[in-house]
Structure 1
Amino acid sequence: MAMTSVLNNQGRPEVVPSTPQLSLAGVTKQFGTSGFVALDGITIDIPQGQFFVIVGPSGCGKTTLLRILAGLDTHSAGKVVVNRTDEKRPVNSMIFQGDSLFPWMTVFDNAAYGLRMRHVPEAQVTDTVRSWLERIGLWRFRDRYPSQLSGGMRQRVSIVRAFANDPEILFMDEPFSALDEQNKLLLHEELLRIWEATKKTVVFITHSVDEAVTLGDRIMIMTANPGRAKAVLDVPFPRPRNVLELRQKPAYGDLVFHIWEQLREEVQRARQNAEGGRV
């Protein structure tokens, strides 16, 4: 039977029965006394093992929502339910947009960081990290430092660090946005291959509609500020997926176009808001 942890708007746990791995009910975020509302009434269920993608214009509250789900920030109203399946494992790991590796640590030590923080026996740490670095083709770079790696290689180490820690939920905040298209394509393939082997619950933020359709099982389109759920769409393509083959399918282009049609209005509203115009 699953164990359920609920964070109220003070960040304190409550116990509530639930079946989804993540469940949001009316989640709202208002900052301080300014009255600025970043999120307004987000309600969504995310099943265990689903690759859930959030796409929306800049400033719509995507990262704020992810931080609330990860327990790094609190919400002002509503509930966030995290349905645990194994309390011995960490609840979540997070991969950030920028380079989040420790520059003074080697590739091996960066990948081992989460396991060592949990005081996993060193022999198990070595076996686990070696397995993951070999799987992603980085074992021979284990003694190098982040400054000696390309941007794509550093993000691969970040992915290894997150998956090696074996969390129940993986949060990813635009992890590939700083990479060129070639590296991004390779990392999409790498991430899909690793995810297929682990079937972890993933919540992934992106600005890219192509990336959302390539990776996701389900996509939530957010409105311009204040962030609301404008639409939630299923991605109908079977797994495993070959990235290049998928993008050649007419249905792929149709879905990308459909999502962009819904997103374009929100991007225009976000631009008007940023320029101080009237919506």
Structure 2
Amino acid sequence: MTSAGLATAGPGPAETKISVRGLSKEFPGKAGAVTAVDSLDLDIPRGQFFMIVGPSGCGKTTLLRILARLEEATDGHIEVCGSTGGRPENSMVFQGDSLFPWMTVRENASYGLRLRGVPGSEVRDTVGHYLGKTGLTQFADHYPHQLSGGMRQRVSIARAFANDPDVLLMDEPFSALDEQNKTLLQEELLRIWDETRKTVVFITHSVDEAVTLGDRIMVMTARPGRAKAFFDVPFERPRSVLELRQRPEYGEMVYDIWQHLREEVDNSQAGALPSKRRRFGR
């Protein structure tokens, strides 16, 4: 067994930002260890918008949490090519509401910068820029409870980009939103990302979202999570969400990816059926 860990290396080949080798993660269970991710190998180039899709419970979020240093791998190795200029290695946008309720929009968006001791004038300029980009300037002094769900996620996105991380990690950030707000935020995210070209690792259950946003897509198997297939997204940038979805080749790609994913979703659901039958006496 190799030693598990997450290392930060010096600048490596320009094409590689994140390298994953033999990554596995087990969790203890009553009937023995449960393997969430199994022997995963993966390379993500610098500046790529990388999407991960897979059935529920396949280890997508576990992988993201290992990248964020919130979990430790059981086995294998992840290497993140080092940053320059003292920037943080990553920032994470969560699925749920992760704002501090006692802080205003401006205070939430500036939290990472203030934590790093960035000078006040730079904080004001940077936060002001991203509040403007996310349409939140007039709400800068509002508190989270005064905002809609979509606006709160805008604050989370502004905070993540303002912190200027090397890698942006996003765990289904739009899954709780209605379709209208989801589309608007996808447009805003693409517009902001086009300016910065951050390396992004984005988890979603939506094949549509994966094709709309991503440069490359990994389909994961049902648990234990492994890489089943990779798809390079050929559509040019910048992208308009609605215009892209009108194109026949967009629909063809969504269908192709869904065919790979559907088998894993069926496998995942089939694995849950016996316990449900026992529960209801069937």
Give the 3-state SS of the residue equivalent to 2:123 in structure 1. Answer: helix
The residue number in structure 1 matching 2:195 is 197
Identify the residue that residue 280 of structure 2 maps to in structure 1: none
Is 1:23 aligned with 2:19? yes
From 57, 73, 89, the counterpart of 2:55: 57
1:206-245 pair list within 5 angstroms: 206-245=204-243
Q: Which residue of 1 aligns with 2:126?
A: 128
Partner of 2:236: helix, strand, or coil?
coil
1:226-276 alpha-carbon deviations (Å, 9 max, x no partner): 000000110010100011110000000000000000000100111111223
Change (3 A) 1:14 1:162: closer
Please report the TM-score for the alignment, with normalisation by the length of structure 2: 0.92
53-62 or 77-86: bigger deviation: 77-86
Match of 1:265 in 2: 263
- Uncovered stretches (5+) of structure 2, i.e. residues with no partner: 276-282
SS at match of 2:188: helix
Paired letter, 1:156: R
Greater Cα shift, 128-137 or 216-225: 128-137
Measured after TM superposition, the shift of residue 85 of structure 1 is 3.2
**Structure 1 counterpart of 2:190, which letter?**
L
Please say if 1:119 is aligned against 2:117. Answer: yes
Q: Secondary structure at the match of 1:276?
A: helix
Q: C-alpha separation between the residues in 2 aligned to 1:132 and 1:17? A: 28
**Distance in 1 (alpha carbons) for counterparts of 2:264 and 2:235:** 26
Match of 1:166 in 2: 164
Aligned-partner residue type, residue 115 of structure 1: L
- Aligned position for 1:44: 42
Answering whether residue 8 of structure 2 is matched by residue 9 of structure 1, we say no
Q: Which amino acid aligns with 1:169?
A: V
> What secondary structure does 1:158 align onto?
helix
Over the matched positions of the two proteins, sequence identity in percent amounts to 63
Quick one: distance in 1 between partners of 2:232 and 2:11? 26
Q: CA 1:39–1:182 in 2, change beyond 3 Å: closer, same or farther?
A: same
| C-alpha displacement of 1:16 | 8.1
Stretch moving more, 118-127 or 259-268: 118-127
Contact 1:18 1:81 in 2 (8 A): no
Which amino acid is 1:96 matched to?
F
Q: 1:187 to 1:41 in 2, by over 3 A?
A: same
Which amino acid letter does the alignment assign opposite residue 47 of structure 2?
G
> Hey, what's the Cα distance between the residues in 2 that align with 1:240 and 1:14?
31
Structure 1 residue ranges without an equivalent (≥5): 1-6
> 3-state DSSP class of the match of 1:275?
helix
User: What amino acid sits opposite 2:225 in the alignment?
Assistant: G
Q: How far does residue 171 in structure 1 lie from its aligned partner after superposition?
A: 0.1
Amino acid of the structure 1 residue aligned with 2:158: V
Give the root-mean-square deviation of aligned CA atoms.
1.6
C-alpha change, 1:78 and 1:212, in structure 2 (3 Å) is same
- Which whole-Å deviations, capped at 9, do the CAs of 1:74-110 have from their partners, x for residues lacking one? 1111110100131510000000000111111000000
Are the equivalent residues in 1 in contact too, given 2:55–2:222 (CA < 8 A)? yes
Deviation at 1:205, TM superposition (A): 0.1
Q: In the alignment, is the contact (CA less than 8 A) between 1:37 and 1:226 conserved in 2?
A: yes
Task: Give the Cα separation in 2 of the matches to 1:25 and 1:259.
Answer: 24
Identify if the C-alpha distance between structure 1 residues 273 and 166 changes in structure 2 by more than 3 Å, giving closer, same or farther: same
**Cα distance, 1:8 vs. partner?**
5.1
Structure-to-structure mapping, 1:248-259, within 5 angstroms: 248-259=246-257
Q: Answer whether contact 1:56 1:62 (CA < 8 A) is retained.
A: yes
Q: How far is the alpha carbon of 1:116 from its aligned partner?
A: 0.5
Q: What is the aligned partner in structure 1 of residue 144 from structure 2?
A: 146
Q: Which amino acid aligns with 1:9?
A: A
For residues 271 and 14 of structure 1, the distance between their equivalents in structure 2, rounded to whole angstroms, comes to 38
